[in-house]
Structure 1
């Protein structure tokens, strides 16, 4: 899961590759993110809440967009892959409506402190809609879990990879390529071809930043796993 990572546009949010919206509800839906009770004694404080917003269930993730984003603390969006949710429960209240809860595993670099191995996600449906959401979520999660098991049996990665964010493409950058018959093909240049085969003396642009980010994500995963392991031992 991550907070404030969803790429927004005028229509709501930018979809990932091959992403489809399966269910949507916009209205009095609150979203509260907090540290699970069993981890509060050992984890840093963390809490985000929005009383009203739009909830999306796609074939890849759950997304919540607050109607009024806050800055302190910052809460503009929440999203998480379906298989990052664990042990969901439902309940109802005469005063608060219908409640859906689930633990969720944070994504590295997703805005959640690395000391927090799991976050409790609480969705409150004041105007109904929880049953449809929950049924769609359960069916989708079962299919994705079966797909994950098939990949494991086939010897592929044991974790379904997250889809990359859509690449930014500025308007006007696209230009029609001339037909191949109109392209002038230059003759081979021995000096150019030999120089292109030589390895560059310097790393590519932003190489150091990319390596630093990768190390930071690995460290965050290590810290989160250690905290979660300590909670399990208790």
Structure 2
């Protein structure tokens, strides 16, 4: 967090706003009717007390892939700009009151040489979006901070030179490699193989009796439950009978079965009489 350290474009220049840092890209820009408030948190311990109290009724807030920048509509020597690295913002949340515009608050950790008193451990930041845009700002802030935190964590694990890590905790990190676009949504191509669905057995329904049910109601519910079970069993038996129709043994004898049986018996009798003679 730093005050009056943002480099601004020349007033005669056609470009408005601030001069971006290397590999810095603007993700969100609010309307010019956004207010800012920098105060000491109410829960600050006496050892870390601070008398910071800066307010701006109108201004523009910028969200980039590296920091938050606020430029008041009317600047002064005391307050001309505000900036803070994304990883120095903690406990961020959206405030949506019943009456009045939405606001966004955060606890800010000051950086060394940022024109903030040294006794300030954390400063409370409040941005009030008078013309809307707070939910959009919050969603984009959380998305880019999460991606930036992942890149920084990987860099810290692979970077053994602690001298390269600055006050913003992003030393040695290639910010150009941070993915800013939304990931594409998954769409079925129609060519992928899909695993076959397995049949699931339907669970038996459980009838819950009310605590104050009368005897007539209990008998009626029991009869309805038995009727449902009988109907389900008949449907299952019909399905099994149709499936097993091809595998059942025929009840009638095949054609010519009796004549073949008589001939075989007669041939056996003749064989036996010839053997005795």
For the superposition of Structure 1 and Structure 2, which TM-score range results when normalised by the shorter chain? Answer: 0.5 to 0.7
Partner of 1:160: 170
Could you say what secondary structure the match of 1:37 adopts?
Answer: coil
How far did residue 95 of structure 1 move? 3.5
1:26 aligns with 2:26: no
Partner of 2:200: none
TM-score when scaled to structure 2?
A: 0.55
Could you say what secondary structure the match of 1:127 adopts?
Answer: coil
Question: Which portions of structure 1, spanning 4 or more consecutive aligned residues, are displaced by more than 3 angstroms?
Answer: 155-158
Contact 2:39–2:124, Cα closer than 8 Å, also in 1? yes
Partner of 1:2: 2
Partner of 2:68: 62
Deviations 1:6-48 (A, max 9, x none): 0111411111111111111122211101111111634131110
Q: How far apart, in 2, do the equivalents of 1:96 and 1:123 lie?
A: 13
Deviations 1:99-134 (A, max 9, x none): 100001101010000000111110011111011111
- Max Rg structure: 2
Contact 2:155–2:172, Cα closer than 8 Å, also in 1? no
Q: How far apart, in 2, do the equivalents of 1:6 and 1:61 lie?
A: 11
Could you say what secondary structure the match of 2:116 adopts?
Answer: coil
Q: What do you get for the CA RMSD once the two structures are aligned?
A: 1.8
How far did residue 162 of structure 1 move? 8.7
Q: How many residues are paired up?
A: 161
How far did residue 141 of structure 1 move? 0.4
Could you say what secondary structure the match of 1:103 adopts?
Answer: strand
Deviations 1:178-234 (A, max 9, x none): xxxxxxxxxxxxxxxxxxxxxxxxxxxxxxxxxxxxxxxxxxxxxxxxxxxxxxxxx
Larger strand percent? 1
Contact 2:31–2:131, Cα closer than 8 Å, also in 1? no
TM-score when scaled to structure 1?
A: 0.65
Partner of 2:110: 106
Q: How far apart, in 2, do the equivalents of 1:38 and 1:155 lie?
A: 36
Partner of 1:166: none
Could you say what secondary structure the match of 1:27 adopts?
Answer: coil
Partner residue of 1:14 out of 19, 22, 25: 19
Seen in structure 2, the aligned counterparts of structure 1 residues 103 and 89 have a Cα distance that, compared at 3 Å, is: same
How far did residue 3 of structure 1 move? 0.6
Q: Which runs of 5+ in 1 are unaligned?
A: 164-234
Higher relative contact order (CA 8 A, sep 6+): 1
Q: How far apart, in 1, do the equivalents of 2:96 and 2:154 lie?
A: 36
How far did residue 75 of structure 1 move? 1.0
